[in-house]
């Protein structure tokens, strides 16, 4: 099971890299002696989301967004739930490089439920991303992330988006999302230890890896001025398989998860 999972992931990555390399073009080089100009976009979202993955209770949080590029470079789309990334290799329709993500969603229940779960509340992940545009209006992305702190499991995030720009100052996107994880990742979030009552006895529950969730995301970006933008996103996730069957979801939570975010960004230049 593990070997086939890793082989499938490796195949996806190899295919994406191969297609991107086939369409590679030489990036323009800056003229020697020309001062560098960096374009920085800082912003974030106020987010209304489940208090933990699989919860039926909701609370508020903040999701920051940072984008830095050199003037003259292509401006790639940035989505609210993408991992932070840095492009080491780019063509006109493909890019790849290191990626990192942080999650502040608690893996612990409140005092009202008799389930012993998780360790740390903060999860830091590191890995790589691969992004490919088969058409100008379609973006596909693969993120391979290994837990460094908190949840030490491995996750593969898959996404595709249709991009519609009805006017110059407005961008709308819509597309599917999916997450595939290994046993360690699923267990850290959804396994229980001698806490689940089953046929009048307490038994442990062991969550296994595989397809953890699927869903979709809608985003919009409206440029109020050349420097200020207003943003919105709506994310729907359906927990699948062992995650949905976990006592923490089946007894006290919800397999359907909705996240709403409203925010904005400010763009400015840095001259060197």
Contact of 214 with 176, CB cutoff 8 Å: yes
Pick from 231, 233, 232, 235: nearest CA to 216: 235
In three state form, how does the secondary structure of 174-234 look? EEEEEEEECHHHHHHHHCEEEEEEECCEEEEECCCCEEEEEEEEEEEEEECCCCEEEEEEE
Instruction: Give average pLDDT by consecutive 10-residue segment, the chain, 272 residues.
Output: 38 41 42 74 93 86 87 87 93 96 62 41 89 97 94 95 96 98 91 66 82 97 95 97 88 92 94 81
Cα–Cα dist 65/83, whole Å: 10
How confident is the model at residue 106, as a pLDDT? 53
**DSSP per-residue letters across the chain:** -HHHHHHHHHHHHHHHHHHHHHT--PPPPPPTTPPPEEEEEEEEEEEEEESSTTBS-EEEEEEEEEEEEETTS------TTSPEE--SEE-SSEEEEEEEEEE----S--TTS-----S-S-EEEEEEEEEEEEETTEEEEEEEEEEEES---EEEEEEEEEEEEEETTEEEEEEEEEEEE-HHHHHHHH-EEEEEEETTEEEEE----EEEEEEEEEEEEEESSSSEEEEEEEEEEEE-HHHHHSHHHHTTB-SEEEEEEEEEEEEEEEE-
Give the pTM: 0.79
Tell me if 188 sits within 8 A of 174, measured CB to CB. Answer: no
- Could you give phi then psi for residue 102, rounded to 5 degrees? -135, 135
Task: State the Cα–Cα distance between residues 126 and 148, nearest whole angstrom.
Answer: 7
- Cβ within 8 Å of residue 266, ≥6 positions away: 41, 42, 43, 227, 228
CB neighbour list of residue 250: distance below 8 Å, 6 or more residues apart? 244
* Bridge partners for 155 per DSSP: 145, 181
Q: For residues 265 and 66, give the distance between their C-alpha atoms in angstroms, rounded to a whole number.
A: 9
Structural domains of the chain, with CATH: 2-22+54-271 (2.40.160)
Separation between Cα atoms, residue 197 and residue 203, nearest integer Å? 6
Under 8 Å between Cβ of 8 and 182? no
Q: What per-residue confidence (pLDDT) applies to 21?
A: 40
Which pLDDT belongs to residue 98?
97
């Amino acid at each position: 099971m593990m070997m086939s999972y890793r082989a499938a992931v490796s195949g996806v990555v190899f295919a994406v890299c191969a297609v991107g390399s086939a369409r590679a073009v030489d990036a323009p080089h800056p003229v020697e002696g020309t001062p560098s100009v960096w374009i920085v976009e800082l912003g974030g979202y106020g987010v209304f989301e489940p208090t933990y993955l699989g919860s039926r209770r909701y609370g508020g949080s903040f999701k920051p967004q940072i984008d830095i590029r050199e003037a003259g470079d292509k401006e790639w789309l940035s989505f609210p739930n993408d991992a932070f990334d840095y492009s080491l290799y780019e063509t006109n329709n493909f890019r790849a490089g290191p990626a990192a993500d942080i999650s502040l969603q608690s893996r612990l229940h409140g005092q009202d439920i008799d389930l012993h779960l998780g360790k740390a509340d903060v999860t830091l992940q590191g890995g790589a991303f691969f992004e490919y545009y088969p058409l100008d209006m379609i973006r596909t992305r693969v993120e391979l992330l290994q837990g460094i702190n908190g949840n030490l499991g491995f996750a593969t995030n898959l996404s595709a988006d249709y991009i519609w720009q009805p006017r110059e100052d407005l961008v709308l996107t819509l597309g599917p999302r999916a997450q595939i994880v290994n046993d360690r990742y699923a267990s850290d979030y959804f396994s229980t230890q001698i806490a689940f009552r089953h046929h009048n006895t307490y038994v442990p529950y062991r969550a296994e890896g595989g397809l953890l969730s699927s869903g979709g995301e809608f985003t919009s970006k409206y440029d109020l001025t050349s420097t200020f933008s207003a943003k919105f996103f709506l994310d729907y996730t359906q927990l699948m398989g062992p995650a949905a069957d976990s006592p923490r979801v089946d007894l006290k939570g919800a397999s359907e998860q909705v996240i709403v975010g409203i925010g904005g960004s400010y763009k400015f230049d840095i001259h060197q």
